[in-house]
Amino acid sequence: MASNIGIMDSAYFVGRNEILTWINNRLQLNLSRIEEAASGAVQCQMMDMTYPGVVPMHKVNFDAKTEYDMIQNYKILQEVFNKLKIEKPLEVNRLVKGRPLDNLEFLQWLKRYCDSVNGGIMNENYNPVERRCKGGKVPKGSQKLSKSLQANNLGDPLGLSSTSGPKQGKTCAVAGATYYAGEVQALTKEMTDLKLSMDLLEKERDFYFGKLRDIEILCQTSELERIPMSVAIKKILYAADAKESALAKAQEYLDSVDVAEIDDEAKVEIEIEADQ
């Protein structure tokens, strides 16, 4: 399957925001940048979720900061690939540098591969926090998350089953305060995640708008504005109806144009300009 995912596969058109959401939702992490996954630990655990138990998670270092520690994680990942006969080159020297584009491309491939194995369905029996805590170094905040989950899963979070008396009131008050503090912390985290997602979406919007603007300027140059392809592209750019694709109309225009006739006109204009 790995060898069938070419550079023009739809996998490589998945945006960084979708990749980050995919990682955070499945592994219960809070990554905000693609380069935060450069250590290779995330990739190891994604393979562990896809093939439960195939990765020796106790050897994976989620707190890897140096290139040496990161390389050790990629060695583990390479061993997993070899075991599963996955023919995917690991360009470790580029990935550990933390360059967003290199890491995004690899994560796009990884998502496509994992989705092809399980159809994109999340393994509900897989506990990512527990697997990270089986040994090795875990990411900062992962232990806090685990403790928070344990606190919120208590059968009696408000202490209502305590025995009557003064001690009961004190226990309820403390438990209640802890419970609501956890709620506030969870909501604050959710707001932060939403803001990060919004910032990423705005950056992606500006990125693609800039490309469209460059195309528009190019099509408006005197040398190209009368070329049928430029006219067809502008029909798409200036289409007012957002519900329907303008591609069909642009294609219809190209089909109706007598290219040979336009080429003859262009040659005449060039000859006239040359004579002048």
Dihedral Cα 115, 121, 124, 125, nearest 10 deg: -50
In this prediction the pTM is 0.50
Count, residues in the chain: 276
Q: How many CB atoms lie within 10 A of CB 89?
A: 9
236-243: long-range pairs with CB below 8 Å, 24+: 237/212
Whole-number Cα distances in Å, 161 to 77, 176, 179, 243: 48, 13, 15, 57
How far apart are alpha carbons 21 and 145 in whole angstroms? 17
**What pLDDT does residue 121 have?**
78
Sign, Cα dihedral of 215, 217, 219, 224: negative
The phi-psi region of residue 98 (left if phi > 0; otherwise alpha if psi is between -120 and 50; otherwise beta) is: left
How far apart are alpha carbons 5 and 141 in whole angstroms? 34
**SS3 (DSSP) at 103:** helix
Q: Tens of pLDDT along 52-99?
A: 989 999 999 999 999 999 999 999 999 999 999 999 999 999 999 999
How far apart are alpha carbons 80 and 14 in whole angstroms? 25
Query: What are the structural domains, with CATH classification, of the chain?
Result: 2-139 (1.10.418.10), 154-214 (no CATH), 220-275 (no CATH)
| Residue spans of the chain under pLDDT 50 | 1-3, 7-8, 135-136, 138, 140-165, 168, 172, 268, 270, 272, 274, 276
Tokens representing 132? 């990270």
**CB-neighbour burial class of residue 250 (10 A; exposed 0-12, middle 13-18, buried 19+):** buried
Given a contact cutoff of 8 angstroms between Cβ atoms, the answer to whether 98 and 38 are in contact is yes
* Sole residue written with tokens 């067809």: 232
**What pLDDT does residue 201 have?**
82
**SS3 (DSSP) at 18:** helix
